[in-house]
Amino acid sequence: MEASSSGRSAGRFQPGPALPPASNILPGTGGKPAVVASDEESVGKITYYTNNHLGKGADGIVFRGYFHCDDANKRPAAVKRIELAKQSNADREVALLLQLDDNPHVVRYFCTEKDGQFLYIAIELCAVSLDKCFTKENPFDLRGLNPVMLLQQTMMGLEHLHSHNIVHRDVKPHNILLKDHSDSVTVKISDFGMSKQLADSRQSYSMRSGALGTMGWNAPEVLDESRKVNPTSAVDIFSAGCVFYYVLTGGKHPFGEPYRQTANIMDGKYNLNGLQKDKHEDIVATDLIEQMLNMEPQGRPSAESVLKHPFFWSLEKQLMFFQDVSDRIVNEKLDGPIIQQLESGGQEVVRNNWIKHITAVLRKDLEIRKGAYEEGSVKSLLRAIRNKKHHYHDSPKEVQETLGSIPDDFVSYFTSRFPHLLLHTFLAVRSFAEELTLQHYYLM
Ligand code: GUK
C-alpha cells in the first residue's frame, strides 16, 4: 500500500515561512523557555502555544506547535509537555518512538527538548483522533478511506509495534489518529506513554508497573489481578477488537455502556448485535472480532494473523479463493476428510438448495448441463462459481448481465446470496491448506 506516505521522503516536507534571523531566535535557552509572544513559547527547535491545548496524553499535556527542522523550515507538530519528575517514562517513550520511526502507520517523532521544568516531545501533527471523527455535529471527511482500510492501517501500525516487541497497552479510538495528506487520509497509532518493550515476542511484561490502560478498552487479563498471567501483545489485540466493532458500527462498544464495560469485560460478556447475522461482510467481521475478544490471550490471533483474515480480502482475492479451492478439490474423494469438512454444516451455507437462490437466467444457463450440479452441496456451488468465471466471456449476454462484471460484482452476486460461503470455506479448508497448496491464504 501507499509507498508514497512512508513519511521519510524529503518531498513531504512542507516549507514554512523563513524563520527570523538567527540573532532573534532562542538566545541561549539556558534551561528556561525563551518567551517569544504572550502565548507562544520556544525551547530549542520546538515552539508551542500554551493557549492551544490539543489534549491530554497518558503522561502529559499536548499543545499545538511547530518543529523547526532547519533554519528555513518548520513543520506543524503536536508538542507533548512532560514534567521532568516523570522523565523516566518520557525517556522510554522517546526511545521507543525512535526505533519505530519508519512506518507510515505510527506517528513520526521529530525531536525532544528540555528546559528547567519540562521535557518536550514534538510529534507530527494529525488532523483528528478516531473518537472524534464519528460525531454527528462534526463528522470528519475520510476521503475514500473506508472502514476496512482504516482498520487495516491500524493493524499495520500495531503489527509494526509488535514486530519490535513493543506492546502499546493503551489502544483505543483516542490514540488512533488520522493524518490528512493532499489526496488521502492515513491512520497513525499514537501515544506510547503506556508502552512496554519486551525482551522477545513470547515474553510477557511483569504486571502492575503501576499504570493501566483505559477502562473499557483493557483486556480481561489486565483488569483481573487474580489471574496470574503476565500480559503480552495480545492485550493490544483485545483492545483492537473493541476498536473494530466501534468503527464498523459508527461508535458502539462490544461491552456496552461505559459504566458496565469493566464488569462485562471481566465476564467476557460482549454483544455484537450491531453487526447483521445474515450479511456476508458482517459475518466475516464477527468471526474476526470474536477471535480478537477471546478471554484467553493465547486464543487471540497475532496482528499478522489478523491482517490475513478474509475481513481484509479484496473482492478479487475472494473470487480467486473460491476458484482455487474449487480447482484443488475436484479430485478429492467424496467420503474423504476434505469434502466431509466442506460439506459439514453446508446446508445453511447453500440455504438448503443453492439453485433456488440464484437468478432465473443463471439457473436456466446451468440447467443446460443438468446433472452436473448438486443443489445441497457447497462443493457444487463452488464449482458453479468457478465454471461461470472460467467461461464468463463465452456466456450469453444476459448471463453476464445477471452476474455483473468480474471480479467485484460477480463475486458479490454469490456472497450476497450465500453470506456464509466465504467464511465457511475459509475455515473448512484451513487444516488442509498445505495439502491443497492454499497456504498463501493463511498465516502458516
Ligand atoms: C489537531 C489535533 C486533533 N491533533 C492532535 C491532537 C492530539 Cl491530543 N495529539 N496529537 C495530535 N496530533 C498528533 C498528536 C499526538 C499526540 C501524542 C501524545 N503522545 N504521543 C503523541 C503522538 C501524536
Question: Long-range contacts for 254-258 (Cβ within 8 Å, ≥24 apart)?
Answer: 254/289, 254/293, 255/216, 258/215, 258/216
Query: CA 378 from chain center: how many Å?
Result: 31
- Output the pLDDT for position 372: 87
- Output the pLDDT for position 113: 95
Q: Active-site residue among 59, 170, 282, 365?
A: 170
Q: Cis link prior to 76 (omega < 30° from 0)? A: no
- Averaged pLDDT, 361-376: 90
| Contact 170 CB / ligand 1 (< 6 Å) | no
Angle between helices 421-429 and 315-329 (to 10 degrees): 50
| Contact 429 CB / ligand 1 (< 6 Å) | no
| Contact 57 CB / ligand 1 (< 6 Å) | yes
- Averaged pLDDT, 156-166: 95
Q: How confident is the model at residue 200 (pLDDT cuts 50, 70, 90)?
A: low
- The total of other beta-carbon atoms located within 10 Å of residue 317's CB is 14
With a cut of 90, say whether residue 13 has pLDDT above it: no
- Helix, strand, or coil (residue 81): strand
- Output the pLDDT for position 205: 62
- Residue-wise pLDDT tens digits, 235-261: 999 999 999 999 999 999 999 999 999
Angle CA(276)–CA(233)–CA(166) in degrees, nearest 5?
A: 130
| Contact 433 CB / ligand 1 (< 6 Å) | no
The answer to whether the CB of 59 falls within 8 A of the CB of 193 is yes
Q: How confident is the model at residue 229 (pLDDT cuts 50, 70, 90)?
A: low
pTM for the model:
0.88
With a cut of 60, say whether residue 222 has pLDDT above it: yes
As a whole number of angstroms, the distance between CA 336 and CA 85 comes to 67
Name the H helices within 249-355. 258-267, 280-292, 303-308, 315-329, 337-343, 346-349
- The C-alpha torsion from 181 through 183 and 187 to 188, rounded to 10°, is -20
- Averaged pLDDT, 203-207: 60
- The total of other beta-carbon atoms located within 10 Å of residue 252's CB is 17
- Ligand 1 atom with least separation from CA of 62: 8
- Residue-wise pLDDT tens digits, 283-325: 999 999 999 999 999 999 999 999 999 999 999 999 999 999 9
- Averaged pLDDT, 330-334: 96
**And the C-alpha cell for 297?**
490471550
- Residue-wise pLDDT tens digits, 403-439: 999 999 999 999 999 999 999 999 999 999 999 999 9
Domains (ranges, CATH) in the chain? 128-312 (1.10.510.10), 315-441 (1.20.1440.180)
| Contact 55 CB / ligand 1 (< 6 Å) | yes
The residue whose CA has the least distance to atom 13 of ligand 1 is: 125
As a whole number of angstroms, the distance between CA 233 and CA 15 comes to 39
Q: With CA atoms as reference, report the closest residue to 241 among 315, 171, 308, 323.
A: 171
- Averaged pLDDT, 136-157: 91
Give the position of cell 489486565.
222
194: left (phi over 0), alpha (psi -120 to 50) or beta: alpha
Distance 207 CA to ligand 1 centre (A): 27
Strand order in the sheet with 176-180: 128-129, 176-180, 185-189
Distance 187 CA to ligand 1 centre (A): 12
- Helix, strand, or coil (residue 379): helix
Decide the pairing of beta strands 176-180 and 128-129. Answer: antiparallel
- The total of other beta-carbon atoms located within 10 Å of residue 88's CB is 9
190: left (phi over 0), alpha (psi -120 to 50) or beta: beta
Q: How confident is the model at residue 204 (pLDDT cuts 50, 70, 90)?
A: low
- The C-alpha torsion from 315 through 320 and 321 to 327, rounded to 10°, is 150
Q: With CA atoms as reference, report the closest residue to 237 among 297, 283, 191, 308.
A: 297
Residue 408 a catalytic site member: no
The residue whose CA has the least distance to atom 20 of ligand 1 is: 191
